[in-house]
Each structure stands twice: as structure tokens, then as C-alpha cells.
Amino acid sequence: MCKSTLYIAALLFLLFSSFNAYSQQIDYSKEFPMSYTIAVQYVARHQGTTENMRNNGIDPALGWSIVFPELIRYDAIQDFFEVSALQTLYIQFGDSYADFSIGEFQIKPSFAMQLQKQWMYIQPKLFGLPPLVFDTTNTPDARRAIVSQLNSDQGQLMYLILFIKIMDVKNWVFLSNEAKVRCYATAYNSSFEYSRKTIERLSDERNFHTGITRALSSTLYSYSDIAVDFYKKFGVAFQK
């Protein structure tokens, strides 16, 4: 049995053995049975992404927890959109005409542009990191570059790393790892530019859904709850 297969089996064992541990809370693996399992398998298959997180000073348990709800949603809705048409509109006219989530990490071009601008602002304050230069002019060429990045695993990971580094610069203190996951996941789902007070308030709101639109979704969930749930179940799997 190959190493990746063993890793997938280990994660799935953690998934099914954790049912009873969270019996008093929502069991998201039962709320989204197919999409949840596929999302876990996605994480297990992408060991290279896990190692790249480590190599960039990112705790993989934190990184994967932040995007895990998006992995669930991506599997649930990916067949409903003709993304290429939306990408063309965005490249030609900007996010006022088309701003949509791309890829497994469900990053919007407007969010990527915000990360680029913030990174260019804080980068001089950071040490020991390779310089990254972005074209933030919001021209068709700049927007085309963003779309190209978001359509690749490497590009999506780059933006996730930028997001976590930007959040880290705030130097917020947390009482637990779960509290940090909850805060970062909420900021990822809303805005890293919000104050901590606003992010903490939003973390309790149920706005996450797996439908085409919120109006067509019968049930809403807390994005941060799903992220913390993943961290509690699988965080130990990323310890070395």
C-alpha cells in the first residue's frame, strides 16, 4: 500500500472514530456526507501542499482548517457554474461585472487583489521572506494573472499563505489554537481587514451554505464552526 493511500486511510479513520466525540454538536460529516468525505480525501492526497505550508512557516492544521469549509462547498457546487464565461467577464471588465469564487479554496479575484495590495504594504516590515511583486493596477493583464493563479493549486496556496502571514502580522493573542482557527477562518470567509471585534462577532453568525445561492439553501451554518470541527478531528494528523 503506497504512502498516500495509508495517509488517506488514517484521516478517514480519524473521521469515523470521532463521531461519538462530538455527539453533542453538529456532526458536519453527516450534514454533508459525500462532500465532507471528498474534502477529507482531497486534503490527504495533497501532501505536497501540506509540506509547502510547513516550508513557508504555516501550521498545516491551521491552513487546512481555514479552507476546509470551502473544500466542502466546492464539491457541492462545482458542476453548476460555467466558470470560464465569468472569468472572461472579470478579465475584461473587472470585479464590478463578475466576482466569483475560483478553485477548491474558493478565492474570489477581488479577495486576491486585496491580498496583493496588503502584502505589498506590509512586505517591507517582514524579514527572511522572498520578495513578491504584484501588478496591482487592476488592468486586464493584472486581472488575467490573478485568474491564472487561482486556477492552479500553487497559486491558491500562495494566496492562502499570504492571508495567514497578513493575519499573523496583527500579533493577536489567542487563548487556544481553536480560537485562532475560528478567528482566521472567519476572516478568510469575510475580510481580513475587519477589526478583531467584528471578526469575533461574525464568527457566531450562520452564513455558510452549500447551495447555489443563500436564498436556495435550506440550512445555514457557521463557517468557523466547520473549520474548528476539522481542526479538532484532524489537527493531530499534521503533527510531526
* Euclidean distance between CA atoms 174 and 176, whole angstroms: 5
Per-residue pLDDT at 237 exceeds 80: yes
Predicted confidence at residue 7, as pLDDT, reads 55
pTM as predicted:
0.85
| Burial of 94 (C-beta count, 10 Å sphere; 0-12/13-18/19+) | middle
Closest CA to 17 of 164, 170, 236, 233: 233
**What average pLDDT score do residues 62-86 get?**
80
Q: What is the pLDDT of residues 133-147, one digit of tens each?
A: 898 888 999 999 999
Number of domains observed in the structure of the chain: 1
Q: By residue range, what is the domain housing residue 13? A: 3-238
Closest CA to 86 of 103, 70, 74: 103
Instruction: Among 54-58, 171-175, 214-218, name the one with the lowest average pLDDT.
Output: 214-218
3-class DSSP state for residue 46? coil
Predicted confidence at residue 93, as pLDDT, reads 84
Report DSSP state, residue 79.
G
Q: What is the pLDDT of residues 166-183, one digit of tens each?
A: 999 999 999 999 999 999
